[in-house]
Every structure is written in structure tokens, then in C-alpha cells.
Amino acid sequence: MRIDGAGLINRNKPVTFSFDGRSYQGFEGDTLASALLANGVRLMGRSFKYHRPRGVFTAGSEEPNALMTVGRGAAQTPNVRATVQEIYEGLEARSQNRWPSLSADLLSVNDLLSPFLGAGFYYKTFMWPRSFWEKLYEPVIRRAAGLGALSGAPDTARYDRAYAFCDLLVVGSGPSGLMAALTAARAGADVILCEEDSAFGGRLNSEAEEIDGAPARDWVQAVLAELDSLPNVRLMKRTTVTGAYDQGTYGALQRVALHMADPGDRPLETFWHIAAKACVLAAGALERPIAFPMNDRPGVMMASALRSYLHRFNVAPGKRVAVFGNNDGARQTAEDLRAAGVEVAALVDSRPEAELPVGFNAFKGAQVIHTKGYMGLKSITVSTGSREEVIEADCLAVSGGWNPTLHLTCHMGARPVWDETLAAFLPAEKSVPGMIPAGAAKGIFSTAGCLADGQRAAKEALKALGLKAKASDLPAASDAPYSVAPLWQVPGKGRAWLDFQNDVTVKDVKQAAQENFRSVEHMKRYTTQGMATDQGKNSNVGALAVLADATGRGIPETGTTTFRPPFAPVSIAAMGAGARGKGFAPERFTTSHAANIARGAPMIEAGLWYRPSYFPRPGDAGWQEACNREVGFVRNAVGVCDVSTLGKIDIQGPDAAAFLDFVYCNTFSTLKEGRVRYGLMLREDGHVMDDGTCARLGETHYLMTTTTAAAGQVMKHLEFVSQALRPELDVSFTSVTEHWAQFAVAGPKSRALLDSLLDAPVDESAFPFMGCGAVTVAGVPARLFRISFSGEHAYEIAVPARYGAALYGDLVARAEVLGGGAYGMEALNVLRIEKGFITHAEIHGRTTAFDIGMGRMVSARKDCIGKAASRREGLSGPEREQLVGLRPVLPEGRLPAGAHLFSENRPPTRENSEGYVTSTCFSPSLGHEIALGFLKNGPLRRGEVVKLVDHLRGVETLCTVCDPVFIDPDGGRMRG
């Protein structure tokens, strides 16, 4: 219930929210957990395995129990820590992992079965009968497991990512972090201060501490005011530094609007990349529990969490509170409770020599050995060894000592080091380059010590940055020493939990050791200890101690605990922000895009580009009809197609020819100016990389064309060859793909079309087949190439892209007048298959020049990329599958791409597969399907009938092996 006090809640701003359908009121500044506690709610969740009732256990992101689902519909967010979620007006929270309700959960039957469900039980059973695993056991297990549920609806909220840079990143804003930030900021360093909480100050917000004789919070406010006033400081609250990566890169997740009822255009979360020259890790420490029997009742919580609720939120989590600890935190908690007017049922300190204040029902050298209260704590049993006493209490605060929050120091593989005095792991030296742990994160637990260490760490960082700290005094604060007597487990009747969420008990760890899972990694994996949503923040050290005990080793010999990113879970939406829908990759549009859309063309992806599939017309029976029509345009009249997506690389320099001779397997130094040649490029491993035409525009000037898909790869390859393999060649290249809009004008009437368009008619002598040169269109300088990918008399014309849209419209209009029109990718594909021209369907990465019948293009007279490797015996010869044409024996026969080829009388098995189909189409010119494919020793098997089998689509057909050129094999149309 709420008590008086000056916490960080705003009592003038009441906030109404709901939990499991019931409406409650809290105040601005409350978390869901503090507001529920204030309303007397203790039961907040169910455990993962045994579905045990659980209450809130901590006051931070490490909370293992009070996980809830917040929001509805697409906004439904599972596994929200009630201890982190700030309440806002109208917030709807629901409990999870229970059915039908939190208080009556049928699966709590698991708890009764727990003797049979111990560590690793599932590895030993559910094996018979075999088919029952997928059908019965697994579905039941899956339904019982899991925590909250995703809504199943697309996450339509806004998220973003951002970059930040600084000299010094300070992680955490307790006394060490604030002092470090202040020291560095005053010295002029560029500082970013990240605080996971919604308020800066760390533990100072949760303790009755004083600094310089005033409440510590006053000091916090003064420091913040100064930091806020400095231009070289960036304050980031609600920001969890989630990971430390190489060269001073840090990931951080900022909860921008998760605490708002209406985020507007704000992102819910921003994932930050922070590049920091230095980092002070002032992340504090986490209090750890003690594994005593039945320590998981709702109402049992960490003592530090209780003090947070008391001081920061002005909430007493119980009416009669007991305290149990192995360090002075217990006494402090009892005193704070008393000061707040809360009844202290008992103060139990495990240390026989502990000095306990008077006026409490105090037990020295005692332990809590049992508790009662299934749905909420009712009593505890205290044992002094000689006597036992049952004490009524509805809340028990536990302190087992502190573990430095050193997680980030482990992210680069360093292992923390055990400290016997503190009974805790400390960060290893130089664990992350540039990171300096400070304060509680390195085992300094007094306020004065933290202030001093924060300043020390900042000075160390400043020195590395070449900056000088200004002299300043340290504020005065408590320097109470920290003494702890390790207490990991309390023996007794009943289970003692280590990992609360995953229901891992002391017994489970002992059983793992008994089964020889003695390595800490084995124990973790076998018991699932530390694999819950807190990733062992609460329990790893305790479990390690239990394992050490069970295996008769010390803690350091048993192993260390380590942590991987992220420090706290990160939503996929935040880390993948911007990629939803089309945001995954840039979209590239040609200048003809709008015109193609206007003509109703379905657009398909070609790499990052969009190209028209076909151009439907009213009355078409389907895409095939449109495709056939467009093929007809090109074969009989003239067709127009935007080919701007092909890569165009401008290559210039005195050594341009020599360079091209090296990157192409055929020769380009012999190409005449004003002429174009087909070129084949190999990878250094001897297989085909890409193909395309290359035009010689001048003596030292070439224009290379790549396929759409490989443009980027080829550019990178050319840069590599030029910079790394042939640095002596004076050549440079630049992509001009974007500058030119280029259109194919193909078909017997292409010349007529161009003659009507160009400022001067096409000069046959300047533009023979494979000729190129400059022309003008309406006064605009353009380039004309007499090349063909259709087998027809054809050209490609290129203009600066600003004129692309206009030219395309003009070309299509003129083509239509001539009985032709625009053609799309479907028709383009048919046209090229009919001619046996290859694309990446054929040069799919595993084919050699030999395979596609171009072995002789690999010039014997010069070196080139891939030549040496292509001479390996396995890359040519009759065992290779080589390019062939295929036509069905029966005209209606289908030749689906992806089918395999077999000798006619062999069954279709792997051993018998002799090839496969790569490209197929219905040839309107021939009236049946045709295909390209690869067949073992194919070129020598022309005329042979082979069996084509496509199991997937139920096709088995006979086809005749033929030349891959189906139409106009001598190329008369192209050249004429």
C-alpha cells in the first residue's frame, strides 16, 4: 500500500490502468509493479515450468517473475517487465502463461508432478512410440511452454535506429556514473550518459542516502542540471546499453514512447549505435537472492527492490515485512521499513557476528528455512540452528549480497574474475578495449567509494583521450563498508529455487552434477539454469556456487559465468527498424516505370529494380496471350523495351584495352572503335561470372554492359582487379547505369522507327550489326548500339536519364503505329530462349565457358581472370553437363524448368540424372514449348530423345536434344 514520503511519483497526476481486466489507479512515475503493489496486488505471474504463482521479485529489468502482456491487437506486447513498464492512462496489462486465469491455472498441476519433471527429464522419455513425439508429446510441451503470446498481427508501430558518436560513453547514472560524466564533461569531453531507468540517479533514487549533508536526490538534480546545460553532453534516459562490440561500438535501446498512451509519430523504441572512444561502465550491481526452501512465494522479494518501492515509489509491499540477509543490507532494510512506519516482523541475519540494531525481532546467525502461503506469503520459519520459529509475514525482503553488473565486460569474450572477499565476480582487466568499469560495477559498494571511483574512471578515460580533468572536490557521502558472509543455499525441506522463471532448484543443479554435467556450461544447458528472460542475472552466481559445492570444487575452479549480448532483450522491430514492407532494400525505378504502370503492366523484381512483366490488353485470356503478342511485335514489326537496368560501366584510360583483355576471357584490344563485342567474364575459379556486350567508344574509351543482377558484383570485381591485381594499368571506370536511360528497339521495323525518330536517319555504314556511335534525338545527344538480344534486327538507344520517360513514350507510340509496341520481361525471355541466348538461369555460378559452348572464347594468347583455374580437368570434358536445346517429341509436351533429364529407359533416380532444364517457354514462333538445359555431353547428343521428369509437377515427357538456337540459326535476321 501507498505510504507517505517524497519519492519520484507525482501524486498530483493519478493514472488509471488495468491488470487482468480490473481497473487500478497509480501515479505518474509509477511502474506497473509499483502501482500494483500499491494496490495490494501480490500475484503477478506464473513460472515457466511448474506454473507456480509468483509475485514481483525485483525493481529492474532483471525481473524474472512479473512479466506481463501489455496492450491489445497489433500493439499486444508479451513479456513486459512490470518493473520497467511505466504506467500511462489507459494502459492494459494482462498476466500470461496461465489458463484460465492467474489465480486458477490448470497447468499448476505440473507443480505436483515436479518430482518427475526434474532436470533433463525430457531427454529420458517421450521416445516411444516414435510417431508420438511430433503428434502428441511435442505439441503438448509446446503449448505448456512459452511465456506471453505475440498477437499474430503485423507490428505496425514506428521504430527507428540512429547513430551517435562521443569521446566518452557513461553507462549508468548512479553516483559513479554521474561523477564520471560530470568530470569528463567539465574537461570538455564529448559525453553520452545512458541510463536504463526512466530517472537518472541509480540507487540514489532508492535509498535514504545523503550527499553533502542533503538528500542524495538533491545532488543528483544539481549534477543533472549542470550536465544538461553543457553542449558537449547528451543525456539519454530509458536507454539500455545492450552490447559492446568491436572498436568502441555499443548498441543501445531507447524506450522512446513505450511509456506514452499516444506516441504520435514518435518511434516506440530507437536502437542506437554509439561509437565511443572510451567508456565508463558504471552499471551498478544487482542484489542476489538466497536459495532457501520455498523461497519463491509471492511476497518474497529482493531487499534492494523493497527499498526502491519504499523510497522511490512510496509503496510498502507488505503490512508485516520480514527481512533476511547475509550482509548489512538486511539491517538497513529493516531500519528503512521502521522509519517508514512499516511493521518489521523479523530481522534475520545469517552472520552470527552481525551487529543488529535494537528494537527488532532480530535473529543473528539464523536462516529462513521454510515459508508458507501458496498464493502469497503467509509465514516464514526461522532457524537459529538450535530453535525454529514460525513468524507471520506477508512480505520477505532477501539480500544475499551483490553481484557487479559486469555483463558488458563479457561481450568480447573476457571472463570475470572471482573475488573471495566480496564473494562476487569482478570485471576482468581490459576486458573490452576502452572500457573502464567503475563503482559498484567493479565491486565498490559505498556511496563515497562510488563517487570517488567514478571520478577516477573519468580521469583515466580523459587521459586516454588526451584531455585534462579540472580539479574538483568529491562530495561527502556515506562510506559504510560492505561485508558479506557467503550464503548460497539453506538446507531444509522443500525446493529452493535458483532460477525462478525456469523453475531450476538447488536439487536440479545437484542432480546435474550427479549425472556428470559438471562443467558449468553443461549444467546450464542440462538444467536450463540462466536461460530464462533474465539470462541468469539473478541466479547464475548462486547456481555456480551450488554446483561448486556439489562437485567439491571452489567457485573459481568450477567455472565462470559469462554473458552475451544483449544485456536486456531487444525487440526485433527496433533492431530491424525501417525494414518492414519495402524498407528491406532500396527500390530502383526506371524512367519508364510510370508509363508501364499506366499500361497496367505487373511489375516484377529484377535485382533491386522493377521491370514490366507484360502489357495486358482488354480481352486477353491471360499473361500468355500478352506475351505472345509482344513476341510477335518483335518478330514481325518492332518492340520497345527498357533495358536501363543492365549495368553500364564507363572505362577510360591509356590501358583500358589491356585491362579489358585481362577481365574478359576474350579479347577487346582488337575491337575497332565504333564497334561492340560480346564478352564473357570468368571468376578466378574458372567458372562464368557474367556476360554482356562491350562497346569501344574511342581508342581509350569503352562502355561495358553487365547483366542487371551482376552489375554491383562486376563493378567490385573490376575495382579489385584494377587496384589489387593490375595496379600498374592506368585505367579508371565509373558506373553510368544511372545516367543513361536505354531502350531496346527490336524487330524488322526497328530501323524504320529510328529513322523517323532520330535527327538524321540511321547510317547503315556507321551502324552495321554490332556497330555503335553517337546520334541525336530532338537535339539531345544520344548513343545508338546495333545489338540484339532477340535475334532480330535491333538497336539500343541511350539518352541522358532526364529524357528517359519522354523518349520511352515516344518510342512506344511510334512502335504502335508500326504495328508493334512495348514488350515486357516475359516476351524478352521467350525471344532470347528462341535464340539460345543465356541469362543467369544458365550462368548460375556452376557453369564454365566450356559448358555453354564458349570454351574457345578463352583466348590462348593472353592471361585472363579465371583462365588458369578453367584448365583444371574437371571443368571441361564429356562428363560435364553442357548447354543444349530441348524440344518435346509430342507438340503438347511440357518442358518445365527445374525438371531433370534422363536417358529414355532409365528410372528417374539421382544416379541416373544426366542434366536439367534451366529455361523454358512456349514459343509462339514454333507453336510448342522449347527449353534450354544442360545435359551430360549434350552437344554430341543432338537428335537423341531423352526423358524429362519433373516429380514436383507430375510431368514426365520425352524430348529431343537439339541446338540451343531454335530460330534463325545463321543469324541472318540479326545481321540483315
Partner 1 sequence: MRFSAWQVLKEGLTGNRGWGAHWRDPEPKPAYDVIIIGGGGHGLATAYYLAKEHGITNVAVLEKGYIGGGNVGRNTTIVRANYGLPGNSEFYSHSLKLWEGLEADLNYNVMHSQRGIINLFHSDGARDAAARRGNAMINQGDDAVLLDREGVRAMLPFLDYDNIRFPVYGGLYHARGGTARHDAVAWGFARGADRRGVDLIQNCEVTGIDIEQGRVTGVQTTRGAIKAKKVAMVAAGRSGQVAAMAGMRLPIESHILQAFVTEGLKPCLDTVVTFGMGHFYISQSDKGGLVFGGDLDFYASYAARGNLPQAEHVMEAAMTLMPMIGKARVLRSWGGIMDMSPDGSPIIDTTHIDGLFLNCGWCYGGFKAVPGSGHVTAHLIATGRPHAAATKYRLDRFATGIGLMDEEGTGSQHNLH
Partner 2 sequence: MAELIAKTPCAGLLPVRHGGLSLTECAPTAIHHLAAYRGAAQLGVALEKAHGLGWPAPGRSTGAASARALWFGPDQALLLGPMPVAALARHCALTDQSDGWAHVCLSGPGAEEVLARLVPVDLRAGAFPEGAVARTALFHMSALITRTGAESFEIFAFRSMARTLVHDVSEAMKSVVAQRG
Partner 3 sequence: MRITCPYCGTRDLREFSYRGAASDLERPDAEAPPEEWHAYLHLRDNPAGVTRDLWYHEMGCASWLVVTRNTVTHEILACDLARDVALKAREAKR
Residues in touch with partner 2 (CB under 8 A): 158, 160-165, 190, 256, 263-267, 273, 275, 578, 582-583, 585-591, 609, 650, 652-654, 730, 732-741, 757, 759, 777-778, 780, 799-807, 810
Beta carbon nearer to partner 2, 80 or 274:
274
728 in contact with partner 3 (CB under 8 A) = yes
Tell me if residue 612 falls in helix, strand or coil. Answer: strand
863 in contact with partner 3 (CB under 8 A) = yes
42 in contact with partner 3 (CB under 8 A) = no
Length of the chain: 976
Is residue 144 a contact partner of residue 163, using CB atoms and an 8 Å limit? no
Min separation Cβ 715 and partner 2, Å: 11
934 pairs with which residues across the strands? Answer: 883, 916
DSSP state for residue 585 in the 8-state scheme: S
Is residue 176 a contact partner of residue 201, using CB atoms and an 8 Å limit? no
Quickly list DSSP for 528-540.
TTT-STTTTTTTH
Give, as ranges, the residues between 674 and 703 that touch partner 3 (CB under 8 A): 684-685
Min separation Cβ 408 and partner 1, Å: 13
Residue carrying the nine cell digits 569474450: 413
247 in contact with partner 3 (CB under 8 A) = yes
Residue 670 partner contact from partner 1, partner 3, partner 2, none using kind-dependent CB cut-offs of 5 to 8 Å: none
Beta carbon nearer to partner 1, 327 or 918:
918
**HSE-up (13 A, CA, CB side) for residue 100:** 0
Residue 256 partner contact from partner 3, partner 1, partner 2, none using kind-dependent CB cut-offs of 5 to 8 Å: partner 2
Beta carbon nearer to partner 3, 399 or 870:
870
824 in contact with partner 1 (CB under 8 A) = no
Residue 730 partner contact from partner 2, partner 1, partner 3, none using kind-dependent CB cut-offs of 5 to 8 Å: partner 2
Beta carbon nearer to partner 2, 535 or 722:
722
959: closest CA among 883, 882, 895, 881?
A: 895
In 857-914, the DSSP E strands lie at: 881-888, 900-903
User: Applying CB under 8 A, which of residues 840, 862, 936, 942 lies at the interface with partner 1?
Assistant: 840
C-alpha cell at 61: 529489468
153 in contact with partner 3 (CB under 8 A) = no
370 in contact with partner 1 (CB under 8 A) = no
Is residue 895 a contact partner of residue 888, using CB atoms and an 8 Å limit? yes
Give, as ranges, the residues between 168 and 197 that touch partner 1 (CB under 8 A): none
Find the distance separating the first CA and the last CA of the chain, reported in whole Å.
Answer: 95
945 in contact with partner 3 (CB under 8 A) = no
Cα–Cα distance for residue pair 294/10, rounded to 1 Å: 37
135 in contact with partner 3 (CB under 8 A) = no
Tell me if residue 754 falls in helix, strand or coil. Answer: helix
Cα–Cα distance for residue pair 11/13, rounded to 1 Å: 5
Residue 248 partner contact from partner 2, partner 1, partner 3, none using kind-dependent CB cut-offs of 5 to 8 Å: partner 3
Tell me if residue 416 falls in helix, strand or coil. Answer: coil
Residue 973 partner contact from partner 3, partner 1, partner 2, none using kind-dependent CB cut-offs of 5 to 8 Å: none
C-alpha cell at 448: 563515497
Residue carrying the nine cell digits 552495321: 768
**x/- contact string, 625-654, with partner 1 (CB under 8 A)?**
------------------------------
Quickly list DSSP for 274-331.
EEEEEEEE---EEE---B-TTTTSTTEEEHHHHHHHHHTS-B-S-SEEEEEESBHHHH
92 in contact with partner 3 (CB under 8 A) = no
Give, as ranges, the residues between 372 and 431 that touch partner 3 (CB under 8 A): 412
User: Applying CB under 8 A, which of residues 112, 153, 214, 594 lies at the interface with partner 1?
Assistant: 153
Give, as ranges, the residues between 677 and 706 that touch partner 1 (CB under 8 A): 683-687
129 cis-preceded (ω within 30 degrees of 0): yes
Q: How many residues bind partner 1 (CB under 8 A)?
A: 122
Tell me if residue 239 falls in helix, strand or coil. Answer: strand
Between CA 588 and CA 597, with CA 593 as vertex, the angle to 5 degrees is 130
Beta carbon nearer to partner 3, 412 or 448:
412
949 in contact with partner 1 (CB under 8 A) = yes
Residue 220 partner contact from partner 1, partner 3, partner 2, none using kind-dependent CB cut-offs of 5 to 8 Å: none
248 in contact with partner 3 (CB under 8 A) = yes
Among 558-566, 652-660, 692-700, 759-767, the segment contacting partner 1 (CB under 8 A): 558-566
Between CA 920 and CA 721, with CA 706 as vertex, the angle to 5 degrees is 130
Min separation Cβ 867 and partner 3, Å: 6
Per-residue exposure over 925-943, b if at least 16 CB sit within 10 Å of its own CB, e if not: beebbbbbbbbbbbeebee
Query: Taking the alpha carbons of 29, 35, 37, 40 in that order, is the dihedral positive or negative?
Result: positive
708 in contact with partner 1 (CB under 8 A) = no
Beta carbon nearer to partner 1, 212 or 956:
956
**CA 164 to chain CA mean position, Å:** 19
User: Applying CB under 8 A, which of residues 4, 134, 265, 892 lies at the interface with partner 1?
Assistant: 134
466 in contact with partner 3 (CB under 8 A) = no
Cα–Cα distance for residue pair 156/537, rounded to 1 Å: 32
Min separation Cβ 810 and partner 2, Å: 5
Cα–Cα distance for residue pair 245/243, rounded to 1 Å: 6
Give, as ranges, the residues between 888 and 917 that touch partner 1 (CB under 8 A): 896-900, 908-910, 912-913, 916-917
Residue 297 partner contact from partner 1, partner 2, partner 3, none using kind-dependent CB cut-offs of 5 to 8 Å: none
Residues lying near partner 3 in the complex (CB under 8 A) are found at 163, 245-249, 273, 275, 412, 433, 684-685, 716, 719-720, 723-725, 727-728, 863, 867-869, 871-872
